[in-house]
Amino acid sequence: MNQNQMKNNLKKLLYHYKFLKLELEDVKEEHSILAGEFETLFSDMIPKEEPESVIDESEPKPKSDDESIKKVYKALAKKLHPDKGGDEERFKKIVEDYQSNNLLGLIDTAVENDVDFNISDDDEKKLEQIIEETKNKIEHYKTTLAYVWKNGNKLQRFQVLSTLGMYLGKPINVENLSADIKKYLE
């Protein structure tokens, strides 16, 4: 593949990634709202969970071993590090993309900030994988109980009740549901 074709493919992947990134943000925001509504609607059924510890005991995220990711990250860091006059929030995003091996996110930031970088032909597969993972995240949010309850059809809502009943360890009797819940089942 010649350099011009590679640049065109990269542009297509970036546009696709940007679109999916926006869609993911929208779906996350919608999910957050729907989850709150769902919890309120079913608050008398769903047991209150103990709040989780505020202390983050997770291991620090590993840095990437991928040479392409390292090269793009280093190029970005040289130009956009806060010590070099860069924006701290933007740099946090760069570090997050680096730690999560998000080559496409790093490339997106590099293109937006006119940072020169080089990637190999093999990296196109990695970029397509990132796009696929983003699509999977979007689909995950769209299959949550709260999302299906609000956006699904009558049959899907009954399936949500069945799933919720399995989670609670007892079947849910439709006659015992509130009028607000029953409205969704009509």
- CA gap 117, 15 in Å, rounded: 18
pLDDT for 1 equals 59
96 CB neighbour count, 10 Å cutoff:
12
Taking residues 100-122, report their average pLDDT: 83
- Two structure tokens written together for 7: 């640049």
DSSP 63: P
pLDDT for 8 equals 78
Q: Over the stretch 23-32, which tens digit does the pLDDT of each residue have? A: 999 999 999 9
Q: Over the stretch 38-57, which tens digit does the pLDDT of each residue have? A: 999 999 888 776 555 444 44
Listed residue (107, 114, 21, 45) closest to 72, CA to CA: 107
pLDDT for 55 equals 43
Residue scoring higher pLDDT (62 or 72): 72
141 CB neighbour count, 10 Å cutoff:
20
Asked if residues 164 and 42 have their Cβ atoms less than 8 Å apart, the reply is yes
94 CB neighbour count, 10 Å cutoff:
24
Q: How far is CA 109 from the centre of its chain?
A: 18
Residue with tokens 């740099």: 91
pLDDT confidence band for 59 (50 / 70 / 90): very low
Given a cut of 90, is residue 5 above it in pLDDT? no
Q: Percentage of the chain with pLDDT > 90?
A: 53
Asked if residues 63 and 82 have their Cβ atoms less than 8 Å apart, the reply is no
